Structures are given as structure tokens and as C-alpha cells.
Amino acid sequence: VTLNSFQTSGNSPGLSRCRVGLLGFGTVGAVLARRLTASDFLLPLQLTHICDRRAREKRGRQPDVLANLVWTDRFDDLLTSDTDIIIEAVSATEPAFEHIRAALLSGKSIVTVNKQVVAHHGPGLMSLAERQGRQFRYEGAVGGAMPIVRVLGDGMAGERVRAIDAILSGSSNAVLSRMDEAACSMDDAVAEACAHGYSDADPSADLDGLDAATKLAILCGVGFRLKVLPAQIDTRGTSHLRPENFRAAKLRAGTIRQVAHADYDRERGVLTAWVAPIFVPGTSVFGGMTGPQNAAIIAGEYAGDIVVTGQGAGADATAVAAIGDLVAIARDRAAIVPAPIFKEPKTIVGLADDKIAEAV
């Protein structure tokens, strides 16, 4: 294996392994732990600690390769450990936010997959990370394996982003595309999405659009440098949809997808942002997204449209994004990532009247 691309810069010695601690051994955390300790895992990342509120119980069910790591239910043990990076995969805003803050203050870099933490506390955590000379990365919080944060934040840094249109909830897309294909009820489509691990047992946050609104709020930060809270986004649910809505869309050569939209008029300071189930032509990018796929079309002033797609739900897909973030940190641990200067939009408006006609 050639590890040269991981040579570190600044005052860190080259080729050293990054020691990683995991906070939260749930669905995503368990997949991450298994991937990082797999015998064919060749990246210079070493998982050494697992912190979970039920550490004792969960450790007892693991194979030796995992059970032999340091397990603890005390977050302080992670803080005082010799880990360089902590991956946070907890399903609650608290205590995750306080733990991330404490970890940055004690000199750790952070990778999180927790969209709630990023949407509500991202700007503050990014500034703190910069002040501490550490990194805060969150690719897995939006779009599963679809690398939207990297594309929008780094790849399009030279672009003036005008608008973002996206399918951001893999669970909702799995449910809606299943209703379309199988002409089945929403309950049946939800049961199938759950069976594939694309949806929580309680899919209401996905179907209500809150999950997509949370991710859209994060993307408004990345693409427009705007501080927007999920609650400020006009969010319309999908749970009223019936098989007949899909039949009607088919007659118009299309289907229904939960779409998130944001565009920003910089001169007037007006952000338009909404999430709604809308009619999309069958031949469009969104019409072609089935199962847990996510897609984003980013319209820029200089380069036109850039399209990114990828699997947007499931622990495997999310782990791919999180490991990508770990690698980015390991490659250059001393890098200072300047926190964006966020502004608040003067006005936030929702779905315009002409668009309401397209909402189903």
C-alpha cells in the first residue's frame, strides 16, 4: 500500500496513523466500527476507543476484533484518550453537541454524521474548530454517500451558487418511488423501506419533510454562507399521498418526488427555501431517482448546472462519507480550515404561487 498521500504537513510527522474514537454505537456507529477494523481496511486510521451509553451490554455482543478495543460509557474517557479524531454517530442533538464542543476544546478533530447538530450548531462548531486548529467535518450528515458537502463547499468554491434543487431524504425517496413502481399504499412502501434499512421505524420526520429541511438548512450554509434554521424553511409533508396521486402523475409522463429547493438573491438578501412533494417529469434527473438515491442540481452563475447523485440513506452509505472525512483529516492533520463567515438572510420566503401548482 502506498501511504504517501497521507503524509502530514506542518508540525506533524509524516505517515503516522490517526487514532480514532467512536461516539455512539448504533446502526451507523456499528457499521463504521466494523469497516474500520476489517482485515482488508488499508487506510492509516486506527479505531481505538468506543464510547456508548450501553457500552458494557453492546461490547458483550461483538466479535473479538471489536470487543478488544477500549469500550467506555464515560465520554471523559474519550476526551482524555490519545485519540486524534472522534466520530460522532449519536441520534440526539444533546448530548452530542456538548460532547463535540468539549472534544474540540480538548484538541480532537471531529467527524459527525448528525444532521441535527450541524443544522443547529454547525457555524459555532466550525469557528471553534478553526480557533482550536482542528477540523470539523460533516459529509455524512447530508445525502449519505452523495458527496454534496465536498462538491458544494470545496469543488465549487470558485462558483457563485444561484440555486440548489435536491432530493435529500433517501427514506422518502425510497417510499415515494416504491409507491410509484408498485402502486402500493404508503404503509406498505414504508414497511419495505424499513426492511431495507432505508427508513426508521418511525419515518415521520422523513415523510413530513423535516429531515430534508434540516439538510437543506445545512446546504444553505455551505452554498450561500447563510445561517438558516430548519424551522425557518417552508416544509410540506408527503404523508397525504395516495396511489391515485402517482397514477395521475403517470398520465402526465412523470412522478412525484420530495424536492428541496433554495435560491438566494444576494442583492436583496432574500432566500427562497422550501421542501415539498412536487410533480417531476419521468425523464428528469429527479424522476430517475429510485430507492434511497439522493440527487442535487446546483445552479451556478459561471459553470452552469452541476449534478451530484448517490445513495442517500443507510448505514453503509453514511459510513463511506464519514470515512472520507476521516481520510481528509488524516491526510493533513495540521490543516486549518477557515470557518465561513455566515450571514443571516434578510427575508426567507417559501413556495411561490406558481410552484404551489406543481406541489402535490
Q: Which residues are known to be catalytic?
A: 215
Is-contact 321 151, C-beta < 8 A? Answer: no
Residue 124 CB, shortest distance to ligand NAP, in Å, is 18
How far is the C-alpha of 115 from the C-alpha of 314, rounded, in Å? Answer: 14
> Which CB sits closer to ligand NAP, 29 or 277?
29
> Which CB sits closer to ligand NAP, 316 or 358?
316
Decide: is 106 part of the binding site for ligand NAP (CB under 6 A). no
Decide: is 214 part of the binding site for ligand NAP (CB under 6 A). no
Decide: is 95 part of the binding site for ligand NAP (CB under 6 A). yes
Half-sphere exposure of 83 (CA within 13 A, CB side): 31
> Which CB sits closer to ligand NAP, 89 or 285?
89
Phi, psi of 337 (to 5 degrees): -100, 110
Residue 53 CB, shortest distance to ligand NAP, in Å, is 4
Decide: is 230 part of the binding site for ligand NAP (CB under 6 A). no
Residue 105 CB, shortest distance to ligand NAP, in Å, is 19
Decide: is 71 part of the binding site for ligand NAP (CB under 6 A). no
Residue 181 CB, shortest distance to ligand NAP, in Å, is 21
> Which CB sits closer to ligand NAP, 315 or 337?
315
Number of residues that bind ligand NAP (CB under 6 A): 23
Q: For residue 22, give the C-alpha cell.
A: 467512536
Exactly one of 115, 137, 257, 261 binds ligand NAP (CB under 6 A); that residue is 115
Contacts with ligand NAP, 290-329, as mask; x by CB under 6 A: -----------------------xxx--x-----------
Contacts with ligand NAP, 122-161, as mask; x by CB under 6 A: ------------------x---x-----------------
Is-contact 142 260, C-beta < 8 A? Answer: no
Exactly one of 33, 51, 113, 126 binds ligand NAP (CB under 6 A); that residue is 113
* Closest alpha carbon to 43 in 5, 90, 86, 99: 5
Of the ranges 108-116, 146-154, 233-241, 260-268, which one interacts with ligand NAP (CB under 6 A)? 108-116
> Which CB sits closer to ligand NAP, 144 or 221?
144
Decide: is 118 part of the binding site for ligand NAP (CB under 6 A). no
> Which CB sits closer to ligand NAP, 255 or 318?
318
How far is the C-alpha of 85 from the C-alpha of 337, rounded, in Å? Answer: 15
Residue 223 CB, shortest distance to ligand NAP, in Å, is 20
> Which CB sits closer to ligand NAP, 320 or 348?
320
Single-letter code of the amino acid located at 175:
V
> Rule CB under 6 A: which of 6-65 touch ligand NAP?
24-29, 52-54
Interface residues with ligand NAP (CB under 6 A) are: 24-29, 52-54, 89-92, 95, 113-115, 140, 144, 313-315, 318
